[in-house]
Amino acid sequence: MTGKTKYTQSSQQQKRIQFFLASFLLLPFLLVCIVESLLKLFIPKKRKSVTGEIVLITGAGHGIGRQTAYEFAKLKCKLVLWDINKHGLEETATECKRLGAKAHTFVVDCSNREDIYSSAKKTTKAFLPEMMKNNHGHIVTVASAAGHTGVPFLLAYCSSKFAAVGFHKALTEELSALKRTGVKTTCLCPNFINTGFIKNPSTSLGPTLEPEEVVNKLIDGILTEQKMIFVPSSLNFLSLMEKVLPERFQAILKRKIDIRFDAVIGYKMKGK
């Protein structure tokens, strides 16, 4: 082992020690943050006005994405709509315009990396500079609880939802790094919803959700600037537990949740 190698290893070890010491000194601040978060649970947050805001919605051609677009159209937002289903996307945009909103559409396959990069580049070029310049706006990603945990026999679906959650998190971090904290981001992660995508879904976490219930939670979360919205809210706790619980215990817990469905039907696209 050369002297240079020993110096490099020593330097790396010193940096690790410094990191752990710095982290330990942050513990008092952690306690303050915990108390602050607990207090916020009992203090209603003021709902902001979103009239004229720019809102990006993925999955806007059907289901929750479409209903969300309609609600924001009623609030007179400027809508950027993404979906793989061109026909459904155009139907959503038409209705949004009828409701008095401006709507711009992009056909995007969120399971295709090149498609995401291409559409994100177009969207960034067209809309993000204005948001960045004004340090103002709101981007909404419609994902799923399946974007946080794997579900047997839903491999393709989970993969696409993990991509959507990753897009939201990376975008949030990038905006923070650029100090554009006025551009807000929100990600919706619901349990099974009665949209016809999956036949007869069920879990021990509660009944299948209705679209209107989920959209109401989403709108409330956006107006109070929540970054991640789980529906039902118990999914937030389960997501946290998956990060800290032992693997064997997680396997037992997932069996207790008892996720069941008959088949993945998918959305029927007109004209096919």
Residue 89 identity: L
Query: How many CB atoms are closer than 10 A to CB 9?
Result: 11
H-assigned helices in the chain? 3-25, 27-40, 63-74, 86-98, 113-126, 128-134, 155-177, 211-223, 234-244, 247-257
Distance CA 269, CA 251 (A): 36
Tell me the two tokens of residue 87: 């026909």
Residue 221 identity: G
Distance CA 116, CA 237 (A): 30
- 190, containing H or E segment: strand 183-190
70 is catalytic: no
Active-site option among 7, 70, 117, 157: 157
The beta-carbon contacts of 220-225 under 8 Å, at least 24 apart in sequence, are 220/47, 221/186, 221/188, 222/50, 222/138, 222/140, 222/184, 222/186, 223/47, 223/48, 223/50, 224/45, 224/46, 224/47, 224/48, 225/45, 225/48, 225/184, 225/186
Closest CA to 188 of 81, 59, 82, 43: 59
Closest CA to 102 of 124, 84, 126: 126
Residues 6+ apart with CB under 8 A from 2: none
Q: Which residues are catalytic?
A: 157
